[in-house]
Amino acid sequence: MSRQLHLNGFLKGAGEYHAGWRVPGNPPDAGVNFPFLAEQVQRLEAATFDSVFLPDLLGVPDDPPEVTERIAWSNDTLEPTTVLAALSTITSRIGLMATASTSYNQPYTLARIFASLDHLSKGRAGWNVVTSLNDAEARNFGFSAHLGHDVRYRRAEEFFDVVAGLWDSFDDGAVWADAASGRFFDPEGLHWLNHHGEFFDVAGPLNIRRPPQGRPVIAQAGSSGPGRALAARIADVVFTRALPLPDAQAYYASLKEQAAGLGREPLVLPELATVVAPTRAEAEDRFAAVRELLDPRVALADVQYWAGVDLTGLPLDAPLPPLPASSPRSAGAQAEIYAQAARDNLTIGDLVRIVADGDGAIIGTPADVADHIEEYFTQGAADGFNVSFPWQPETLVDFTDLVVPELRRRGLFRTEYAGTTLRDHLGLSRPASRHAAR
């Protein structure tokens, strides 16, 4: 079989677009409405998506009140691993991925959560490793400000190593449950971690047998130098921002080379947002109607958030202020925004319009979207896509019903699942335990 696309569904309440929650017919409680979410996930599973991914924030962002009151998802959303546990009972094949922070959690807790999810789902769990984004999150965990960038990534490296070690606490087959002899497990097959590091002291072992996948699938969105280094070392899947083709190709080649030096080959999935209709005019009209619902103050706050600078009082025809020496934001995303502004001579107002216009969303026919996907996939820019949906359910249904058949017609995407675990879908082998050769 020829190389096949990998598609992940990126779900955020009523949609990725900030005004998506205002679209007529969308449920007002989309962020906490499990039946609504379940229906979307079951649609993605019927379309043979590799996985679904639920992001997370650990606090309400520090936006002005007039902006905060207009944003739905980050202010009204369920804890994602709890949701995935529920989804595991009504799905059978699609992978179930969630964000969890290494800055504001403990390794033993997350090791248990994701091992449990992998067992509940029979091998479909995935963890998107993040270091968190802002001071608002930090203040909910006893810190006055977000941890510094380098500290966050050193902590994340150690955090992952502890979690991975805990997942190998039991050897495969060490749990006997031999009722006749009264021996539940082989004591030689249980291993203490006894980790002592810069940030964590964890004895172990984990009180759950080894996960069905050996290790849940690891995703990461490394864009800064330390972020890319972490992704190259630990990630099975790397999520990236939507980038112009030359930039996407450069990122893809750089990350693949960095990972190859470590004997690894993670999959790269750029974000892709689409508004699809049978004709381009219809797709453009649909988006234009929703664009009218977006308050420009929300778009400005989005630019300010990712640029990591205060834009209060600056005229829209001004350029971005100088890049700050440090920021709690994603350093990679911040650098990309500044590079784009410098390259294209963009003002603050231009950046606001880009956000309002869908921030790179592909708006057109199924063939238009498939052309974009095929170009990135065949020209060394992507192994698949992290597909976001500007407003749900409409843009999700349009993608599964219009784009997926076109991708299949071109021989780019599966018609049925070949395996049962998320690793199967992604073409990843089950890792051996670190204790297997001893």
Residue 295 in marked binding region: no
Residue 169 in marked binding region: no
The span from the CA of 133 to the CA of 136, in Å, is 9
Q: How far is CA 192 from the centre of its chain?
A: 31
Residue 224 in marked binding region: yes
Residue 196 in marked binding region: no
- Cite the annotated binding site by residue number: 56, 99, 149, 153, 223-224
- Cite the annotated binding site for FMN by residue number: 56, 99, 149, 153, 223-224
